[in-house]
Structure 1
Amino acid sequence: TRLPVEYILNLLAHGATLEEILEEYKGLTGEDVQACLLFASKSLEEMDFMPMTAETR
Protein backbone atom coordinates (compact mmCIF):
# COMPACT_ATOMS: atom_id res chain seq x y z
CA THR A 1 0.00 0.00 0.00
CA ARG A 2 1.43 3.35 -1.05
CA LEU A 3 0.18 6.27 1.00
CA PRO A 4 1.80 9.68 1.42
CA VAL A 5 3.55 10.29 4.74
CA GLU A 6 1.37 13.37 5.24
CA TYR A 7 -1.76 11.21 4.94
CA ILE A 8 -0.61 8.80 7.67
CA LEU A 9 0.41 11.69 9.93
CA ASN A 10 -2.97 13.33 9.35
CA LEU A 11 -4.78 10.13 10.34
CA LEU A 12 -2.77 9.95 13.56
CA ALA A 13 -3.25 13.67 14.26
CA HIS A 14 -7.01 13.24 13.97
CA GLY A 15 -7.11 10.43 16.49
CA ALA A 16 -6.78 7.26 14.45
CA THR A 17 -5.01 4.52 16.35
CA LEU A 18 -2.26 2.39 14.88
CA GLU A 19 -4.61 -0.59 15.01
CA GLU A 20 -7.31 1.30 13.09
CA ILE A 21 -4.86 2.36 10.41
CA LEU A 22 -3.45 -1.15 10.00
CA GLU A 23 -6.98 -2.59 9.82
CA GLU A 24 -8.02 -0.11 7.13
CA TYR A 25 -4.84 -0.44 5.04
CA LYS A 26 -3.97 -4.14 5.03
CA GLY A 27 -0.68 -3.72 3.15
CA LEU A 28 0.67 -1.30 5.76
CA THR A 29 2.75 -2.45 8.72
CA GLY A 30 3.54 -0.95 12.09
CA GLU A 31 7.08 -0.45 10.84
CA ASP A 32 5.73 1.61 7.93
CA VAL A 33 3.92 3.93 10.33
CA GLN A 34 7.04 4.20 12.50
CA ALA A 35 9.00 5.13 9.37
CA CYS A 36 6.50 7.95 8.70
CA LEU A 37 7.02 9.30 12.20
CA LEU A 38 10.80 9.06 11.87
CA PHE A 39 10.69 10.82 8.50
CA ALA A 40 8.59 13.66 9.97
CA SER A 41 10.91 13.95 12.96
CA LYS A 42 14.02 14.09 10.78
CA SER A 43 12.38 16.64 8.48
CA LEU A 44 11.64 18.92 11.42
CA GLU A 45 15.23 18.62 12.66
CA GLU A 46 16.42 20.06 9.35
CA MET A 47 14.09 23.08 9.45
CA ASP A 48 14.99 26.43 10.89
CA PHE A 49 12.29 27.98 13.04
CA MET A 50 12.00 31.64 13.85
CA PRO A 51 10.55 32.57 17.23
CA MET A 52 7.24 34.41 17.04
CA THR A 53 7.09 37.82 18.61
CA ALA A 54 4.15 40.16 19.08
CA GLU A 55 5.25 42.03 15.95
CA THR A 56 5.13 38.93 13.71
CA ARG A 57 1.70 37.66 14.75
Structure 2
Amino acid sequence: MDIAPPVTLEEWNAVGADYLPGLLGMRFAKVEPDQAVATLAVRRALRAWNGYLHAGT
Protein backbone atom coordinates (compact mmCIF):
# COMPACT_ATOMS: atom_id res chain seq x y z
CA MET A 1 0.00 0.00 0.00
CA ASP A 2 1.49 3.34 -1.07
CA ILE A 3 0.70 6.33 1.08
CA ALA A 4 1.31 9.73 -0.49
CA PRO A 5 2.39 12.40 1.98
CA PRO A 6 0.52 15.70 2.08
CA VAL A 7 1.85 18.36 -0.29
CA THR A 8 0.47 21.76 0.74
CA LEU A 9 0.43 23.32 4.21
CA GLU A 10 -3.35 23.10 4.18
CA GLU A 11 -3.08 19.35 3.56
CA TRP A 12 -0.48 18.89 6.31
CA ASN A 13 -2.65 20.74 8.82
CA ALA A 14 -5.83 18.91 7.74
CA VAL A 15 -4.21 15.47 7.93
CA GLY A 16 -2.71 16.21 11.35
CA ALA A 17 -5.95 17.58 12.82
CA ASP A 18 -7.22 14.16 13.97
CA TYR A 19 -3.84 12.95 15.26
CA LEU A 20 -1.14 14.12 17.70
CA PRO A 21 -0.46 17.46 15.98
CA GLY A 22 -4.15 18.35 16.27
CA LEU A 23 -4.35 17.16 19.86
CA LEU A 24 -1.38 19.35 20.77
CA GLY A 25 -2.73 22.29 18.78
CA MET A 26 0.18 22.37 16.33
CA ARG A 27 -0.09 24.26 13.05
CA PHE A 28 2.49 23.65 10.34
CA ALA A 29 3.93 26.86 8.89
CA LYS A 30 6.56 25.31 6.60
CA VAL A 31 7.24 21.76 5.44
CA GLU A 32 10.22 20.96 3.21
CA PRO A 33 12.21 17.76 2.67
CA ASP A 34 14.84 18.83 5.22
CA GLN A 35 12.84 21.07 7.57
CA ALA A 36 9.45 21.37 9.22
CA VAL A 37 8.32 24.44 11.16
CA ALA A 38 5.21 24.44 13.31
CA THR A 39 3.67 26.65 15.97
CA LEU A 40 2.30 25.44 19.27
CA ALA A 41 0.38 27.49 21.81
CA VAL A 42 1.67 26.58 25.26
CA ARG A 43 -1.42 26.10 27.37
CA ARG A 44 -2.07 24.62 30.80
CA ALA A 45 -2.92 21.16 29.41
CA LEU A 46 0.62 20.89 27.99
CA ARG A 47 2.39 21.90 31.19
CA ALA A 48 3.72 19.75 34.00
CA TRP A 49 2.43 20.26 37.55
CA ASN A 50 5.29 22.74 38.21
CA GLY A 51 4.21 25.04 35.36
CA TYR A 52 6.97 24.12 32.93
CA LEU A 53 6.23 22.84 29.44
CA HIS A 54 6.01 19.04 29.75
CA ALA A 55 9.13 17.36 28.34
CA GLY A 56 6.96 14.96 26.33
CA THR A 57 5.50 17.87 24.38
Which of the five TM-score ranges fits, normalised by the shorter chain? under 0.3
Indicate the structure with greater helix content: 1
Indicate the structure with greater strand content: 2
TM-score (norm 1): 0.24
TM-score (norm 2): 0.24
Larger Rg: 1
**Structure with the greater relative contact order (CA < 8 A, sep ≥ 6): 1 or 2?**
1
